[in-house]
Amino acid sequence: MNYIVHSVLVSDGGDSFRIDTANTSYVIGIQDGLYLGHFYYGAKIPETDLSYKTAFAPPMSPVKTSRELCVFMDCYNFEYPGWGTGDSREGALKAIDSNGTSRVNLLYKGYRISSGKEPIPGLPSTFAAEDPVETLEIDLQDPDTGLSVTLFYTAFPECDVIARRVEVKNEGGHDLDLQRVLSATMDMPGVDRQGRPFELLTYHGTWAREFTKEIRPIGFGRTGVVSICGKTGNRMQSFLGLVSPAVSQEQGQVYGLQFLYSGNFSSMVEKGPNGDIRVSMGIHPEEFSWKLCPGETFHSPEVVLTYSDAGLGKMSRNFHDLYRAHLIRGKYKDKKRPILINNWEATYFDFDHDKLLSIAKQAKECGIEMLVVDDGWFGKRNDDNTSLGDWTVNEEKLPGGIRRLSDELSAMGMKLGLWFEPEMVSPDSDLFRAHPDYAIAIPGREPARSRNQLVLDVSRKEVRDYLFDSIRKVLESADIAYVKWDMNRHLSDLYSAGLPSGRQGELMHRFTLGVYDLQERLLSAFPDLLLENCSSGGARFDPGMLYYSPQIWTSDDTDAYERIRIQAGAQTLYPLSCLGAHVSICPNHVTGRTVPFMTRGIVALAGTFGYELDITQLSEEDKAHIRRQVELFHTYNDLIRNGDFYRIASFADNGFYDCYGVVSKDKKEMLLTFLHVMNQPCMPNRHICLKGLAPEKRYRVFLVEESSGKEKKDIVCEAFGSTLMNAGIVIPCMYGDFQSALYHIEEV
């Protein structure tokens, strides 16, 4: 007999636990009263006690015989494995005891079920919204070291997502040195329901080439994605996916895991000799150690997991729903963002008050709502060699300061935003001359520079206090509605003047905690502020950042052709509402490519939407395009921001065209985007089957015209949802590269 507490079920004997969402079940249990095992994660099932799955693998019990305990430890499907106990697979928790040994043997101690979900001290985390949630806590303990471990599981039923994290407490009598604390592991079969080996889905890249999708076989041994540069980085997303071979948007099993953290990470899969796999995710053990004194607790960052047996599209929508409802916070959580124009590609460092006003005036005439002043407004910043850390206004460029500019913008009905790079310092700055110890650098050694700048040690409270006070004074001096928070280099030369020699291994994690603390203080002081995170483009685009900023700059590459691929990768993991996307000038400043103005706008509509150009140099025709794009944004942004995303075709797969749609939650309307990227001889009409509509509803399909003025739509056809999803529609051939079209589908 089972009893149910909302989403958590416990077996009659209290030795098995099942966590349910709308469509999935997660089952764990206790072997012989000692070891916590992972029994199942997948499509929803009615059983809670799956202990029969451990009866034959391994064939010995740790209670009945200790003769082959090492074999048991090396074969058992652990839920959270320790270290040094005979399990040769990757462990989750390693701690150095006072005698120099590292064994951690975690035994089951007890459990609790509570309503709601507590925040994690100092870290981003998912939260309960209007619907109640339940949290299962399972306690493990190492009787030799006194380490106590609590595993936390919270189910978000409507999103089909489970959040996991770990707390490690020292209940012994002496200090322990934590060498690794992973947030989640999972031992599971290495094959899908059809017996086909799972493959590994990851996203990699570099500057201007973020979010490149890769699916590869999982070979024996360990493979995965990592970052050890002090942030998540643009080289690898911390996401990890296990997918059926030939997975598609609608077909195949998918396990997706994402790490709510913005520092070093390890996302690994290990395949053992029997073909089973161990999945693990957490802070990368390299450059990590943590001194845990008696009575102290270490809190791990959170991992969110989802399962789909309906392909990648369902996984995407699960994550999108979770982040929009249970991670993004603040004034702009469910609100349309202002359309902005950023002056960077318009002026770079060469601007003054009058130039900015001329951009703002013409932008206002086209319907743009905010001017963002990028790098160069502070200190003596006329190039990228100086003044980072000196957050005072350069009045040679801006006489009367930010206040004068803000007042004049307000008078014309425009908002003001500012660029900051708080974590950086220029050696040629007043801050560095006064406090060289504020920079991360090894005493007596010349530190490596990048963009001729060093990284400030925000793990130190005095450094954070200086930065907060400096930024606060600027934001209080004028009506500033938006901050772009940039971070343009990796960490190196690791040493903190604020830590003793025995605790230098804590710097990387403390740095990330310091960034979170700074952003939390900023938002608490300015709750109406719109914060957009950025790091050399998308080099810190991760769920941890979404907790503080509802949008993140996706890439410095604003070429619409490149953005189709970049945004396709980002859209798989993140809601469109958080993807920073702008229309830029052509030839594009990164690639030199030219794309029609309207297509550039349609690509940027699948994001936050804005402009990155000198509007004063545009033709009247291009300004008319901007006015039309602004109309489209206001008409469709609520749908784009809140609807369900469906990828229909991928340019990365077919080499010619891209197509995706956003469907309202009530299934009453859809916005379909078609991008004819590359031309081909004898180019055909495109046959497109829609997705996500209600089969029984009848819809009218409109082509949204590109001409300026009140929104114009031509009727294409009228049909039931089932017809549109199976028989589809025909999109006429388009002449030339980079052409585009929008279709609006409405319930009749």
DSSP state of 157: G
Q: Which of 97, 321, 486, 557 is catalytic?
A: 486
3-state secondary structure of 168: strand
Spatial distance between the Cα atoms of 384 and 488, rounded to a whole number of angstroms = 11
Contact 186, 306 (CB under 8 A): no
Spatial distance between the Cα atoms of 691 and 492, rounded to a whole number of angstroms = 47
State yes or no: is 131 an active-site residue.
no
Cis peptide bond upstream of 587, omega within 30: yes
State yes or no: is 486 an active-site residue.
yes
Q: Which has the closest alpha carbon to 159: 124, 129, 198? A: 129
Contact 662, 743 (CB under 8 A): no
Q: Which has the closest alpha carbon to 305: 134, 91, 159? A: 159
Tokens coding 322: 């979770």
DSSP sequence for 259-287: EE-SS-EEEEEEE-TTS-EEEEEES-STT
Q: Which has the closest alpha carbon to 252: 262, 242, 260, 265? A: 242
Tokens coding 595: 């794309």
CA angle 707–712–718, rounded 5-degree value:
135
Q: Which has the closest alpha carbon to 36: 106, 97, 122? A: 106
Q: Which of 20, 97, 321, 556 is catalytic?
A: 556
Spatial distance between the Cα atoms of 717 and 706, rounded to a whole number of angstroms = 19
Q: Is residue 733 packed enough to be buried (19+ CB in 10 Å), middle (13-18) or exposed (0-12)?
A: middle
**610 bridge partner residues:** 340
Contact 436, 385 (CB under 8 A): no
Q: Which has the closest alpha carbon to 341: 119, 629, 127, 107? A: 629
b/e code 677-694 from CB counts within 10 Å (16+ = b)? beeeeeeeebebebbbbb
Amino acid 625 reads: H
Q: Which are the catalytic amino acids?
A: 486, 556
